[in-house]
């Protein structure tokens, strides 16, 4: 085996990401406090049950919304289909906890729904007839409408890449549209859909804000409680470990079910662009209604609720230092995204050119950070830094490094890096999977070195994937809550932390302003890059 | 000592630790020569090209180009350092660049070369790809992609050009034209080339030498005429599938006897002792039609091949013999009729096993 620059870089990056994850694993063997026994006797089963129900419900809902809307906009022409193509990704701008605030604000007693009914029909006992979307149902809706876009984007990209040939083949075999969809189109898009659902699953299991807001006991809140209330990091880590196992089990199950089926899309010449089917009449109306409903519920509804409150309570607008919050948020986003893209790219290329088993295992482990809830990762990071400082740095006689990493931008960015590394790595990897290995070989044979192949062939090809990864990571960071709450420097706030603090103090109206800004910034990000994400070209 | 321009010595060609072709030796004597490797699909022809290009390593033998060792057990020059170009069978154009940009990327390799033997325009005209220059690879047909890929390889003007089934996706009607152009351009540019193909006509036309790869071995490496008329093994005869082997007995240094055909005269390629029982190779062009002959066999099949018919005859001892007849031949026969063979039978090169 040749040790080269790419191998070493890839190795070091993966190792760095794995360290805090290993910290989580290593504490699995530590002693736990009495909290474990208390929890075992009381709520543990409830935590597991709620987590499973939550996961299953969110996965089913996001699958139907994401795949259904992607299918409609990819294969059919109907009024506003081109608008929905990108409008449906705007839901990314609304994190589950803000969606939860909106749901509550709208449907609560004397909330917005009540006000609307009152203004339309006069005084009445509307609170009894207005449905309440709180508790587990509230969490499922908040997470699903916020996260379905993962499935939508990846499924749509995959649908677009399907050649007209396989669609024609279905017609030739006499399939109806529905049969062609579930027996040809859907199976061919399966890896993309599963990738989307995996992201949704990990986000759901790690979700803290919405779950906390609706006071649902899940494994994540269990983790948080064991750390905050009982100071039992070991047990918190054990619960995280359990979550990780759950995620891995899902991956393995999916991999096994694929058997030897290949889903590689043919990039050969001869690829035939799809012709969209023109819908009219009732069918066009139904397609439009479905997409509009999804767009309305996922984006317009929370946006209007937050705008309504902002205008209703304008004093909150002036209490905030908007510019500071904006600069803080952007600073974190730009720094972290750049780091993630650069290192994710280098690590992917290192894996591609080396095809080494150790590196492969290391990379696989390194992407598990995404499944670890942010709160536990932040704590694991603090634990590791403290241990490293006490046992290595101080013993060597150096000045303590705690301040450099804990409660600093550097520490925050590093934990973001660990947390979202898998997002960057996998996003770039899926871009890389579209580059046939013979493209690399052709490049070498044209006299290009590995570095030149990387710079001149891969990076231009991956441009759209990199932008996509950049926006995904940025959105995650804009919306991220627990890591920022724990590791942010003193007096350093973002829109997310400001919204959370107001909401946790039962000042939902005050949470509306930072929430609205968060949605607007995220929307702006999505709009300026949507043409790259959704470009109907070779990617 | 006369040094060959390119030489493969005792190399085992492997892919993923699986040996595909064992102990291969062949050489290209002069710069600018074109050779073809012929064999059935999956036999390892592509592995040979990939190894020569440096994409696969070897554990045994040496590969040398222009006096420099490219591959051996200890040495493995990286592909980018070999100045060898390989045009893959499948389209390997860079999908995010137009065809023109793809081809121009090839020209960057040797831009420092003082003498520019061929321009982009010349190559584009030669391969007739003007229309697709501004298109992306996914917008062109497989045949066009193959020509674009060929253009990119040619414009690099490498020391050694490797073409993997270069014309496999090109329409039959256009194939001969491209073959002619390819032959011409390789000659003009004096590019030493190894072409891999499963089409014997293509190999015989393009290559000054042909290697036949069968059963994990390079069975024969010779000029096309010899490969066809003087095959060195039964496997090669069976692969080329253009003749039949019938039992015969050597009766003199210039004749042998077959139960159905009688006496056959000619020159033995390899001498056999008188009285030897051999298998005689009879190729379709060795026997001639003669309605007046009393040596007649049953016709069991007739294939129209444009310029000729191939009659398949069955002898009384159940041997199957093919015979060519010019398609303008006035008297055609139907299946189940009798077909006369001109006597005496004389075969210029008698090939026996």
Q: Which of A296-310, A368-382, B69-83, B304-318 has the lowest mean pLDDT?
A: A368-382
Q: Which of A33-42, A221-230, B67-76, B186-195 has the lowest mean pLDDT?
A: A33-42
The answer to whether A444 faces chain B, any CB pair under 8 Å, is yes
Cα dihedral sign for B193, B199, B201, B204?
Answer: positive
| Distance (Å) of CA B35 to CA B120, B159, B224 | 25, 14, 10
Of B79, B91, B96, the CB nearest to A538: B96
Q: Which of A365, A496, A477, A348 lies closest to A417, judged by CA?
A: A477
Is there a contact between A461 and B95 if contact means CB atoms under 8 Å apart? yes
Of B80, B94, B156, the CB nearest to A439: B94
Alpha helices in A433-481 (DSSP H): 437-445, 450-452, 459-479
Q: Decide: B217 and B223 in contact? Cβ < 8 Å.
A: no
Q: Which of A102-111, A130-139, A526-535 has the lowest mean pLDDT?
A: A526-535
Q: Decide: B63 and B51 in contact? Cβ < 8 Å.
A: yes
Count CB-CB contacts under 10 A for residue A405: 20
Instruction: Provide, rounded to the nearest whole percent, the portion of chain A with pLDDT above 70.
Output: 88
Q: What is the pLDDT of residue A534?
A: 63
Q: Please, what is the average pLDDT of chain A?
A: 83
Residues in A touching B154 (Cβ below 8 Å): none
Is there a contact between A447 and B80 if contact means CB atoms under 8 Å apart? yes
Global pTM value: 0.74
Torsional class of B312: left (φ above 0), alpha (ψ -120 to 50), beta (otherwise): beta
Q: Decide: A479 and A496 in contact? Cβ < 8 Å.
A: yes
Q: Which of A92-101, A123-132, A236-245, B181-190 has the lowest mean pLDDT?
A: A236-245
State how far residue B201 is from chain A, nearest Cα, in angstroms.
26
Q: What is the pLDDT of residue B22?
A: 92
Residues in B touching A5 (Cβ below 8 Å): none
The answer to whether A266 faces chain B, any CB pair under 8 Å, is no
d(CA A340, CA A325): 22
Angle between helices A409-432 and A374-388 (to 10 degrees): 120
- Quickly state the pLDDT bin for A70 (edges 50, 70, 90): very high
Q: What is the pLDDT of residue A345?
A: 92
- Quickly state the pLDDT bin for A538 (edges 50, 70, 90): very low
Of B90, B109, B138, the CB nearest to A447: B109
Among A445, A458, A462, the residue to mutate for chain B (most B Cβ within 10 A)? A445
Among B50, B84, B89, B92, the residue to mutate for chain A (most A Cβ within 10 A)? B92
Is there a contact between A442 and B80 if contact means CB atoms under 8 Å apart? no
The answer to whether B105 faces chain A, any CB pair under 8 Å, is yes
Which two structure tokens, joined as six digits, stand for B169?
A: 């996706």
Is there a contact between A438 and B80 if contact means CB atoms under 8 Å apart? no
Average pLDDT for A424-443: 86
d(CA A192, CA A159): 9
Residues lower than pLDDT 50 in chain B: 114
Average pLDDT for A431-437: 84
d(CA B209, CA B192): 12
Q: What is the pLDDT of residue A219?
A: 83
Buried b (16+ CB within 10 A) or exposed e, B332-344: ebeeeeebbbebe
Is there a contact between B85 and A446 if contact means CB atoms under 8 Å apart? yes
Q: What is the pLDDT of residue B187?
A: 87
Is there a contact between A268 and B141 if contact means CB atoms under 8 Å apart? no
The answer to whether B137 faces chain A, any CB pair under 8 Å, is yes
Predicted confidence (pLDDT) per residue in A167-178, tens digit: 677 777 777 777
pLDDT exceeds cutoff 50 at A376: yes
Closest residue, chain B, to A444 (C-alpha): B80
- Quickly state the pLDDT bin for A539 (edges 50, 70, 90): very low
Best mean pLDDT range from A30-44, A55-69, A501-515: A55-69
Q: Which of A28-42, A43-57, B60-74, B232-246 has the lowest mean pLDDT?
A: A28-42
Is there a contact between A441 and B156 if contact means CB atoms under 8 Å apart? no
Average pLDDT for A262-275: 51
- Quickly state the pLDDT bin for A273 (edges 50, 70, 90): low
Asked if the ipTM is above 0.90, the reply is no
Domains annotated on chain B, with CATH: 6-235 (3.40.50.300), 248-350 (2.40.50.140)
Q: What is the pLDDT of residue B117?
A: 67
Closest residue, chain A, to B162 (C-alpha): A445
Residues in A touching B80 (Cβ below 8 Å): 444-449
pLDDT exceeds cutoff 80 at A24: no
């Amino acid at each position: 085996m040749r040790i080269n620059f790419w191998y070493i870089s890839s190795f070091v990056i993966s190792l760095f990401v794995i360290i805090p994850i290993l910290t989580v694993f290593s504490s699995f063997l530590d002693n736990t406090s009495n909290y474990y026994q208390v929890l075992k006797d009381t709520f543990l089963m409830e935590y597991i049950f709620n987590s499973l129900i939550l996961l299953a419900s969110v996965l089913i809902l996001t699958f139907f919304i994401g795949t259904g809307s992607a299918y409609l906009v990819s294969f059919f022409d109907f009024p506003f289909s081109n608008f929905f193509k990108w409008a449906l990704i705007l839901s990314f701008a609304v994190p589950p906890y803000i969606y939860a605030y909106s749901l509550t604000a709208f449907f609560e007693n004397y909330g917005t729904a009540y006000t609307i009914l009152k203004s339309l029909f006069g005084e009445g006992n509307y609170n009894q007839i207005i449905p309440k979307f709180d508790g587990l149902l509230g969490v499922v809706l908040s997470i699903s409408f916020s996260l379905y876009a993962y499935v939508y984007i990846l499924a749509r990209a995959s649908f677009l890449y399907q050649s007209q040939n396989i669609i024609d083949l279905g017609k030739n075999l006499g399939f109806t549209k529905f049969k062609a969809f579930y027996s040809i189109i859907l199976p061919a898009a399966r890896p993309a859909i599963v990738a989307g659902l995996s992201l949704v699953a990990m986000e759901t299991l790690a979700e803290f804000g919405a779950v906390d807001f609706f006071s649902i006991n899940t494994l994540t809140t269990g983790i948080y409680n064991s750390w905050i209330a009982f100071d039992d990091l070991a047990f918190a880590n054990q619960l995280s470990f359990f979550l990780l196992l759950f995620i891995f089990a899902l991956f393995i199950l999916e991999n096994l079910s694929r058997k030897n089926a290949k889903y590689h899309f043919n990039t050969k010449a001869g690829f035939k662009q799809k012709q969209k089917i023109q819908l009219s009449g009732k069918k066009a109306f139904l397609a439009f209604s479905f997409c509009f409903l999804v767009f309305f519920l996922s984006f317009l509804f929370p946006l209007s609720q937050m705008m309504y409150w902002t205008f209703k309570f304008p004093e909150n607008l002036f209490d905030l230092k908007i510019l500071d919050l904006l600069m803080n948020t952007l600073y974190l986003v730009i720094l972290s995204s750049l780091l993630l893209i650069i290192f994710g790219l280098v690590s992917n290329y290192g894996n591609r050119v080396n095809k080494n088993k150790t590196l492969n295992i290391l990379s696989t482990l390194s992407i598990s950070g995404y499944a670890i809830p942010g709160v536990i990762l932040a704590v694991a990071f603090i634990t590791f830094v403290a241990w490293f400082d006490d046992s290595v740095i101080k013993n060597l006689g150096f000045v303590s490094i705690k301040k450099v990493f804990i409660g600093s931008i550097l520490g925050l960015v590093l934990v973001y890096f660990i947390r979202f590394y898998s997002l960057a790595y996998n996003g770039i990897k899926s871009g890389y999977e579209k580059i046939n290995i013979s493209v690399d070989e052709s490049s070498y044979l044209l006299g290009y070195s590995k570095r030149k192949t990387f710079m001149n062939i891969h990076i231009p090809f991956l441009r759209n994937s990199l932008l996509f990864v950049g926006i995904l990571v940025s959105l995650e960071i804009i919306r991220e809550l627990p890591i920022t709450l724990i590791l942010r420097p003193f007096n350093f706030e973002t829109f997310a932390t400001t919204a959370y603090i107001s909401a946790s103090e039962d000042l939902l109206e005050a949470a509306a302003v930072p929430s609205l800004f968060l949605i607007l910034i995220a929307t702006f990000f999505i709009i300026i890059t949507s043409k790259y994400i959704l470009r109907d070209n070779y990617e | 000592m006369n040094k060959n321009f390119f030489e493969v010595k005792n190399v085992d060609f492997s892919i993923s630790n699986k040996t595909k072709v064992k102990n291969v030796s062949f050489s290209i004597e002069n710069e600018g020569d074109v050779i073809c490797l012929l064999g059935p699909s999956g036999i390892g022809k592509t592995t040979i090209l990939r190894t020569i290009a440096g994409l696969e390593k070897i554990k045994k033998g040496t590969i040398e180009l222009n006096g420099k060792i490219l591959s051996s057990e200890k040495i493995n020059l990286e592909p980018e350092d070999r100045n060898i170009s390989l045009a893959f069978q499948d389209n390997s154009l860079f999908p995010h660049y137009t065809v023109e940009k793809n081809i121009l990327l090839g020209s960057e390799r040797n831009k420092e070369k003082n003498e520019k033997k061929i321009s982009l325009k010349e190559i584009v005209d030669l391969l007739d790809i003007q229309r697709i220059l501004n298109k992306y690879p996914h917008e062109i047909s497989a045949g066009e992609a193959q020509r674009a890929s060929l253009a990119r390889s040619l414009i690099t003007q490498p020391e050694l050009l490797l073409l993997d089934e270069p014309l496999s996706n090109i329409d039959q009607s256009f194939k001969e034209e491209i073959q002619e152009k390819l032959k011409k351009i390789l000659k003009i540019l004096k590019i030493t080339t190894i072409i891999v193909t499963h089409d014997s006509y293509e190999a015989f036309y393009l290559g000054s030498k042909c290697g036949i790869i069968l059963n994990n071995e390079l069975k024969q490496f010779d000029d096309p005429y010899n490969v066809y008329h003087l095959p060195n093994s039964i496997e090669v005869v069976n692969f080329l599938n253009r003749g039949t082997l019938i039992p015969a007995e050597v009766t003199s240094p210039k004749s042998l006897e077959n139960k159905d055909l009688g006496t056959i005269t000619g020159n033995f390629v390899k001498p056999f002792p008188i009285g030897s029982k051999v298998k005689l190779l009879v190729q379709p062009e060795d026997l001639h039609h003669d309605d007046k002959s009393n040596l007649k066999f049953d016709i069991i099949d007739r294939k129209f091949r444009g310029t000729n018919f191939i009659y398949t005859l069955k002898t009384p001892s159940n041997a199957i013999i093919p015979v060519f007849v010019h398609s303008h031949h006035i008297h055609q026969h139907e299946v189940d009729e009798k077909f006369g063979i001109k006597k005496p039978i004389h075969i210029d090169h008698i090939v026996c096993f």
